[in-house]
Homo-oligomer: A and B are copies of this chain.
Amino acid sequence: MILILKKNASEKQVEDLVNWLHESFNVQTNLVNGTHQSILGLIGDTSKIDIDRIRTRDEVEDVKRVQEPYKNTNRKFHPDDTVIEVMGRHIGGGKLNVIAGPCSVESEEQLITTAKAVKKAGATMLRGGAFKPRTSPYSFQGLGAEGIKLLIEAKQETGLPIVTEIMSLAHIDLFADVDIIQVGARNMQNFELLKELGHSKKPILLKRGLANTIEELLMSAEYISAGGNQNIILCERGIRTFETATRNTLDISAVPILKTVSHLPVAVDPSHATGIASLIEPMSLAAVAAGTDALEIEVHCNPKNAKSDGAQSLTPEQFDSVMTKIKAMAEFIGRPLEA
C-alpha cells in the first residue's frame, strides 16, 4: 500500500502517522521524499487493511493499493485450481458444465418435461427458480417451498444435480437437498446472506452484481470463504451499461481475468446477460472459447407461456441445437463437456 502525503505535512506529523500505522496495522514503512510530493510505502501484509481508515488522516492526500484486498480467493496464495464436486460432476477441473432449465419453476409438468429435455441434450445440471427476484411486486414471485420440492423430484427423475436461488436466510432450511445454492446478482452484496452461506458446506454459485466490479465480486466471495466455505463458483451474467440493445452487457473478458487472479471456477450466464434467445448460441460459444468452466442457460418447454423471462428462454429443440455446437466447441477448446 502506498500513501501519498500532503505537501505541507510536517516531519512531526509524518512521524506520528508512521507510529499510528505501525500500531494499528502492524506494518513497516519506507519514506520517499519527492520533489513535488512525498510518498510512504507500507511493508507487510496489507490485504486486510481498510483503506478508508488511512484516507482520513490529515497528512494523507491519497492512498493506492498494491496488494489485492482479497486473500482466500487470490490465486497468488492458492496457485491450484479449485475443483468442486457435485454428485460426481466436477466444476473447475478441466471439464465444461452446462446448467440448464427454466427461469422459474411453474408446475410439475413444466419442470419435469424441461428437465428431461435438457438432460437428453447434454446438460449436466438442472436450474430452476423457486424464489424469484422480480422488479415488480405484481409479477410472479415463484412457487417458493413448493418449487424446491418439485426441483428435488426432478433431480430424482433425471439424476441431475439442482441449482436454485436463495433470497432470504429465513428459507435456508428448505435448501437442504439443493446441490448448488445460487446467490443472485441483486444479492451479491447482501453481506448477511453471504456470511451465513460461509457456514454452509454447499457449493455457492455467486453471481456478479449489475454494477459490481470484478474485485467486488471477489470480495463477496471472500465473505463466503472467510466463513469457511471454499466451494464458490463465480458467475458473470452481464453488467449494466448505457447500451439498450441487450438487457445487460456480457463482460466476457471477466472470464480470463477471474481465472488469472483467482483459483475459483467461473461460470457465464448468457441468458440473463443478453435477454435475447437468439444471442445465447453465439455468446455461449464465445464464453467457452474464452475459457469458462460452466454455462447457465434458460430453457423452457413452452417459452411463450413462461411466467418469467420467456423472451430469453430457448425451447428444448433450440437448446438441443445449441448444445450440439457447445459440445463441439468444448471439445475443440480442450475443455470437453462433463459426462
Contact = CB atoms under 8 A, between A and B. Distances in A.
Contact of A253 (B4, B246, B309, B310): B246
Interface in A299-339: 303-311, 313, 328-329, 332-333
Given A56-B304, A255-B282, A257-B245, A41 B39 contact: yes
A195 B282 CA distance: 34
A83 interface: no
Interface string A55-68: 11110001010110
Contact of A167 (B139, B192, B282): B192
Contact of A243 (B251, B252, B286): B251
A123 to B, nearest CB: 20
A311 B2 contact: no
Contacts of A287: 286
A210 interface: yes
Interface stretch (A91-99, A109-117, A173-181, A215-223): A215-223
B210 A211 contact: yes
A169 B170 contact: yes
Contacts of A216: 135
A307 B53 contact: yes
A152 interface: no
Nearest to A48: B138
Give the bracket for the number of chain A residues in contact with chain B.
35 or more
A143 interface: no
A213 interface: yes
Contact of A169 (B58, B169, B245, B252): B169
A304 B137 CA distance: 39
A107 interface: no
A253 B241 contact: no
A135 B220 CA distance: 7
Candidate in A35, A64, A253, A255 with the most chain B CB atoms within 10 angstroms: A253
Contacts of A214: 243, 245
A305 B17 CA distance: 12
Interface string A1-25: 0101000000000000000000000
Given A53-B306, A288-B289, A44 B48 contact: no
B239 A253 contact: no
A33 to B, nearest CB: 8
A122 interface: no
A136 interface: yes
A287 B285 CA distance: 9
A21 to B, nearest CB: 13
Contacts of A167: 190-192
21 contacts: A30-B32, A35-B44, A41-B41, A48-B136, A53-B307, A53-B308, A64-B64, A136-B219, A137-B195, A137-B223, A168-B193, A169-B170, A210-B211, A239-B243, A241-B251, A249-B249, A253-B274, A253-B282, A282-B291, A285-B290, A289-B329
Interface of A: 2, 4, 30, 32-37, 39, 41-45, 47-48, 50, 52-53, 55-58, 62, 64, 66-67, 69, 131, 133-141, 167-170, 186-187, 189-193, 195, 209-211, 213-216, 219, 222-223, 226, 239-246, 249-257, 260, 273-274, 278-279, 282-283, 285-291, 303-311, 313, 328-329, 332-333
